[in-house]
């Protein structure tokens, strides 16, 4: 296989306690720590391992987002991606638009495999992989926990509700990485220095011909309903009493 393309989305770091803006227009992102979507680190790690096994020639990290997403792409390059592409836009794209942009890059680069995250932890949409696969008219394997490349096809283990499902798909294909696919490597300081010299191409969203206009109108963003304050019991007997009172045991 020649090339693997990996989606790298810049998102609010998973440790940040996200707050809703008082006017209901969205969440507070100013001054908030941003990171590579955790599932995308897993996607990238898998691509790097496939390459390190000698089964792929090149790993390309692609991000669709603001200029600052270059930071996340530099992280991807430091992890080991060979080059990176930023499709620049200040608009927040829906997954369908993100998939269309990725398709434009796919058509230019002709990768044998695209690996994205199972979901972005900001929109929690989990749509991009199947959407890209549909638009590209290629197989998809979502929620991968194991990937084996066998020449022109791949055997993939998927995390489904019942347990684990194994499917076989012809390449090229789109995979989405689940948590247990691998544990991403840590970036070492010399790699960060090396990453500065790796190519990072920036192009404008307009160059892909994809519209950023949202298909769904967000009318309100609100915090979840708070749960009512609970009680603290001092021992098991009190716990059982409390449960009995609620008719739960």
Partner 1 sequence: MSKILVIAEHDGQKLNQATARCVSCARQVPDAAITVAVLAADPAAVAAQAAQLAGVTEVVTVAAAHNAHALAAVLAPQVVKLAAGYTHVLAASTAFGKDLLPRVAALLGVPQISDAMAVVGAYTFKRPTYAGNAIVTLEAPADKVLVATVRSASFEAAPGGGSAPVRAVAIEASVPAHTRFVSVSAATSDRPDLASAAKVVSGGRALGSKENFELVFRLAEKMGAAVGASRAAVDAGYAPNELQVGQTGKIIAPELYLAFGISGAIQHLTGIKDAKTIVAVNKDAEAPIFEVADIGLVADLFQVIPELEKALAK
Ligand X SMILES: Nc1ncnc2c1ncn2[C@@H]1O[C@H](COP(=O)(O)O)[C@@H](O)[C@H]1O
Ligand Y SMILES: Cc1cc2nc3c(=O)[nH]c(=O)nc-3n(C[C@H](O)[C@H](O)[C@H](O)COP(=O)(O)OP(=O)(O)OC[C@H]3O[C@@H](n4cnc5c(N)ncnc54)[C@H](O)[C@@H]3O)c2cc1C
Query: In the range 37-76, which residues lie near ligand X by CB under 6 A?
Result: 37, 39-40, 43, 62-65
Taking the least distance from each CB to ligand X, the nearer of 202 and 242 is: 202
d(CA 76, CA 105): 17
Residue of 7, 11, 38, 208 that binds ligand Y (CB under 6 A): 38
Q: What is the dihedral of CA 196, 200, 73, 174, to 10 degrees?
A: -140
d(CA 84, CA 100): 18
34-36 and 10-12: which strand pairing?
A: antiparallel
153-160 and 140-150: which strand pairing?
A: antiparallel
- Span from 1-9, 12-20, 45-53, 84-92 in contact with partner 1 (CB under 8 A): 12-20
Rounded least distance, CB 212 to ligand X, Å: 11
Enumerate residues 89-128 that contact ligand Y by CB under 6 A: 121
- Tell whether residue 119 is a contact of ligand X (CB under 6 A): yes
The one of ligand Y, ligand X, partner 1, none whose footprint includes residue 3, by CB under 5 to 8 A per kind, is: none
Four-residue CA torsion sign, 71, 147, 140, 136: positive
The one of partner 1, ligand Y, ligand X, none whose footprint includes residue 63, by CB under 5 to 8 A per kind, is: ligand X
Dihedral pair phi/psi, residue 170, rounded to 5°: -80, 150
- Tell whether residue 14 is a contact of ligand Y (CB under 6 A): yes
């Amino acid at each position: 296989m020649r090339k693997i393309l990996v989606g790298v989305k810049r998102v609010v770091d998973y440790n940040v306690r996200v707050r809703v803006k008082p006017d209901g227009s969205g969440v507070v992102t100013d001054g908030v720590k941003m990171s590579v979507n955790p599932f995308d680190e897993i996607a990238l790690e898998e691509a790097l391992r496939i390459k390190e096994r000698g089964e792929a020639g090149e790993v390309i990290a692609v991000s669709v987002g603001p200029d600052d997403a270059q930071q996340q792409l530099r992280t991807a390059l430091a992890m080991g991606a060979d080059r990176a592409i930023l499709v620049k836009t200040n608009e927040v794209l829906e997954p369908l638009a993100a998939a269309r942009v990725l398709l434009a890059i796919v058509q230019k680069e002709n990768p044998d495999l695209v690996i994205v995250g199972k979901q972005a932890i900001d929109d929690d949409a989990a749509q991009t992989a199947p959407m890209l696969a549909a638009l590209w008219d290629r197989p998809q394997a979502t929620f991968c926990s194991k990937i084996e490349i066998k020449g022109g096809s791949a055997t993939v283990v998927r995390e489904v509700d019942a347990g684990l499902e194994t499917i076989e798909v012809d390449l090229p294909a789109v995979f989405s990485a689940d948590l247990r696919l691998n544990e991403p490597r840590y970036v070492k300081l010399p790699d960060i220095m090396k990453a500065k010299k790796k190519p990072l191409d920036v192009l404008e969203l307009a160059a892909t011909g994809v519209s950023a206009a949202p298909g769904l109108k967000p009318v309100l963003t609100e915090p979840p309903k708070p749960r009512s304050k609970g009680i603290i019991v001092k021992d098991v007997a009190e716990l059982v009493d409390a449960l009995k009172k609620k008719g739960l045991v």
